[in-house]
Structure 1
Amino acid sequence: MAIGKVWHELEVEVPASEAWELFSTLALARFVEQQLPDMIEKAEAIHGDGGVGTIVHVKFASGAEHKEKFTKIDNETRVKEVEVIEGGFLDFGLSLYRVRFEIIEKLGAAGDSEPSCCCIIKTTVEYDVKEETSDASNASSLVSIEPFVTIAEAAKIHLMKNNLYSIKQFREHHQLMQCQINLDPYLKILSALISVSSWMNCSSLKILFVSSDSEILRSKFSNLELILLMAYSKWFSQVRYDA
């Protein structure tokens, strides 16, 4: 059982599924190698393809290195655990160094069971000290959550860039906070239209225009923006907007 634990949480304005796609596979190792060269010089999978049992050889910019193994990947709960199996902290008095990534989906408004566009990246480091280590406190002091804070923040920027319309950006751009519009009825219309691919044309736009209260919608969005909204409705339908 681990004797020590440190953790960090960071909210990200993207769906949990998108964050999990990055954190659950080898994509995270490649991302850190490319985006944080001052931290990781090279991360190479020497066994496996990203599933449980995969072993990655990590060379740090500092010159240190270790091998880590994917010991748990749960796509249902969005939890991934990685343990150092050779080198690294194990050479400095630790018997266990485990990192757990959790992508926690935030729900909508109170009492609403539908997911929102936001999630939380939670990183936990668990560690234990070898029995023969004379100075357990010194070995424990080597453990820090800060590298994973850096990774989470870099991942947030990356995910937000890939997400063309975050909730905050969408609201700010169209000033929905000021006009007090609840977009749920319109999102339902958009979702229905996009679900029938043969309707993705001008006739579907006309159907949208003649819907009830369409004057409000038309006053806030241009025709081009409405077409773009329909194109992205698969993503928007997972989001609950309460301006």
Structure 2
Amino acid sequence: MVAGSFSIEIESPVEAKRLWNAVLDTHNLLPKQAPGLISSITLVQGDGGVGTIRHVNFTAANKDFSSVKEKVDLIDEANMVYCFSHVEGGLLGKKVASISYKVKFIPKVGGGSITTYTCDFDSLPGVPHDEAKIEEIKADTTGLFKQVEEYLIANPTLYC
């Protein structure tokens, strides 16, 4: 088993609080804003808070898997930190033994924000490190973020 991690940092003109509020509503927002990738997100257990399990269904655009169940592990409102992990589906059991994410929104002086997105994973025994796949995931994550960012810019009163 190989432990791995990667991070991306995205600067945005959108205020950190708006992005934070949007991430808390991803189960409603993403199927509407990224219908080419996400067909639905259903809350299986919970109300969106810590311990919530959500089932994310992807479209055929996601070549690696059709769905994943995620668990909300941490919601730190004061520091705008949101953590979740995969509990079923996705690459679990195929390439990784575990995978978790941490998203943090940092206000910038003068407006806008910086979002840090960190992924920690343990690959399954015998699965080689795939830097090209990590770069693809980083690009896809940034692309999805930019879609949400554009939507928030176009709708300046949303998630205020």
Q: TM-score range by the shorter chain?
A: 0.7 to 0.9
Of structures 1 and 2, the one with the larger relative CO (CA 8 A, separation 6+) is: 2
Identity of aligned residues (%): 25
**Which residue of the partner structure matches residue 73 of structure 2?**
71
Deviations 1:136-163 (A, max 9, x none): 325x764422221122101211221222
The answer on 1:10 being equivalent to 2:2 is: no
Whichever residue aligns with residue 118 of structure 1, its letter is: G
1:136 to 99, 111, 128: 128
2:151 to 148, 151, 158: 158
* Cα gap change, 1:141 to 1:55, in 2 (>3 Å): farther
The answer on 1:39 being equivalent to 2:37 is: yes
Higher helix share: 1
Higher strand share: 2
Unaligned runs of 5+ in 1: 108-115, 165-234, 236-243
Contact 1:30/1:43 (8 A) holds in 2: yes
Q: Distance in 2 between matches of 1:155 and 1:141?
A: 25
Give matches, 1:116-127, under 5 Å.
Answer: 116-127=110-121
Q: TM-score, normalised by structure 1?
A: 0.57
**Which residue of the partner structure matches residue 19 of structure 1?**
19
Whichever residue aligns with residue 20 of structure 1, its letter is: W
Rg (Cα) greater in structure:
1
Q: Distance in 2 between matches of 1:21 and 1:67?
A: 21
Contact 2:11/2:113 (8 A) holds in 1: yes
How many residue pairs get aligned? The number is: 151
Contact 1:14/1:163 (8 A) holds in 2: no
Contact 1:84/1:90 (8 A) holds in 2: yes
**Helix, strand or coil at the partner of 2:32:** helix
Give matches, 1:1-243, under 5 Å.
Answer: 3-23=3-23, 25=24, 27-62=25-60, 64-107=66-109, 116-130=110-124, 133-137=125-129, 142-143=133-134, 144-163=137-156
Q: Distance in 1 between matches of 2:43 and 2:93?
A: 21
